[in-house]
Amino acid sequence: MTTALIADDEPLLAQNLSERLQALWPQLNIVAIAKNGVDASAELNRLQPELAFLDIRMPGLTGLQVAGALKNTRVVFVTAYDEYAVAAFENNAVDYLLKPVSDARLAQCVARLQRETARTTPPDLAGLLQQLGALNTPQFLSWLMTGLGETTRLVSCDEVLYFQANEKYTEIITASERHLIRTSLKELLPQLNPQRFAQIHRGYIVALPVIAKIDRDLLGRQRIHLKGSDDVLPLSRSNAAQFKQM
């Protein structure tokens, strides 16, 4: 079984990558998910995995710095910034994935890695895509990983009433709890099922099944009322068209 480490300071993206990799490559064992460059370096030295999927911009040490100290671990850089491509391949990267990574591009990367690690007949790329369902079914988040200190919580997307932008964080609001994640609304929205979630304001994403009604305040501003909650959310003009039938 091939072993791998993922390092990304965005826990949602790291978890999503882990799930997608394991769907494409069931024999891949994700031995650790590191939240910054220092942790990634320590875990790589301790576990000596065969593969490392490294974000480039991370606290402590960059992915390039982490990769520069590796000897026997193949590296794939996963980043939102294309200006590091030359430096990445100078660090002997096997591949360079730009976020958001499409299923087809990730399957191509997996095929390359399997070819290099097994040194056998290249895997069927179409078959890999079929396994993931990339040809027909989009992959959306089912769970959200939240953290406070050393504690990690899993929150089901089915429990979420809405998401609210909160300075550098995003707040997850359920019927009974509130959590913080470091993923922005802009990054989060494409990972959510559009049949269940919609952006209603630059600072809010709401779960469609929990909308009770939409009305206007005394100044004519539209508001969304939720089932089983006293919270009232703003509905911006630019996002109001999707609710015309309500």
Distance, C-alpha 98 to centroid of its chain: 13
- For 194, residues 6+ apart whose C-beta sits below 8 A from its C-beta are none
Per-residue pLDDT of the chain (246 residues; tens, 9 = 90+): 899 999 999 999 999 999 999 999 999 999 999 999 999 999 999 999 999 999 998 988 999 899 988 888 999 999 887 777 767 666 668 888 988 888 889 999 999 898 877 654 444 545 554 554 544 455 678 888 786 555 567 788 999 999 999 888 899 999 999 998 888 999 899 889 999 999 999 999 999 999 999 999 999 899 999 998 999 999 999 998 888 755
C-alpha span between 112 and 137 (Å, rounded): 23
Nearest to 28 by CA among 54, 49, 5, 2: 2
Q: Tell me the pLDDT tens digit for each residue of 187-213.
A: 899 889 999 999 999 999 999 999 999
- Match 């559009």 to its residue by tokens: 194
Distance, C-alpha 150 to centroid of its chain: 20
Q: Which domains does the chain have, with CATH numbers?
A: 2-132 (3.40.50.2300), 144-243 (2.40.50.1020)
Q: Tell me the pLDDT tens digit for each residue of 206-236.
A: 999 999 999 999 998 999 999 989 999 999 9
